[in-house]
Amino acid sequence: MRHWMKKLRKDHLGGALMFVMGTGAALQGTTYRMGTLSRMGPGYFPVMVGTVLALMGVAIFLTAGVGERPIPKVKLPPEWRAWFCIGFSVVAFMVIGLYGGLVPATFAIVFISAFADRQNSLRNAILLSAAMTVIAVVVFWWALQVPFPLFRWG
């Protein structure tokens, strides 16, 4: 294997992939109407997210391996609790969102996902869920006016 290929790390490849995907999203977004910041068109969000993704990819690529120490490889058992909590939280969001609305669905997805971390307490899960619910209401219901009712009965 060539010398330069040995120096190529996973972070280099990840950064390059982020750059390519971000650039692709931004270029594709320019084919739609951009609009303005106050009246965003369908191309505004993909162009902005794609640009940020591409810039982050460049930053990751350039800083890959800086100050890196070799980490001993240890085979860890699968985190079944985390897989279950995260998977179940997505299903709960879909079901509760359909029958209960944005507020209970957001609270449920964050609350259930919080227990994927074994060190999370009930108090922390409740506080995190409440904070994320408030943020979701402000961002999606009030600012973006996504047509998702806050509460729905049945």
pTM exceeds 0.75 for this model:
no
Q: Give the pLDDT score at 2.
A: 55
Alpha-carbon dihedral angle through residues 90, 94, 96, 100, given to the nearest 10 degrees:
140
Q: Give the pLDDT score at 68.
A: 67
Instruction: Give the rounded distance of the alpha carbon of 106 from its chain centre.
Output: 15
DSSP codes joined into one string, 137-148: IIIIIIIS--S-
CA angle 88, 91, 96 (to 5 degrees): 115
In order along its 154 residues, the chain shows pLDDT tens digits of 555 555 567 888 999 999 999 999 999 999 999 888 888 888 898 999 999 999 999 999 998 877 667 778 888 888 999 999 999 999 999 999 999 999 999 999 999 999 999 899 999 999 999 999 999 999 999 888 889 999 998 6
Q: Give the pLDDT score at 128.
A: 97
Q: Give the pLDDT score at 95.
A: 96
Q: Using CA atoms, how far apart are residues 125 and 39, in angstroms rounded to an integer?
A: 36
Q: Give the pLDDT score at 9.
A: 74
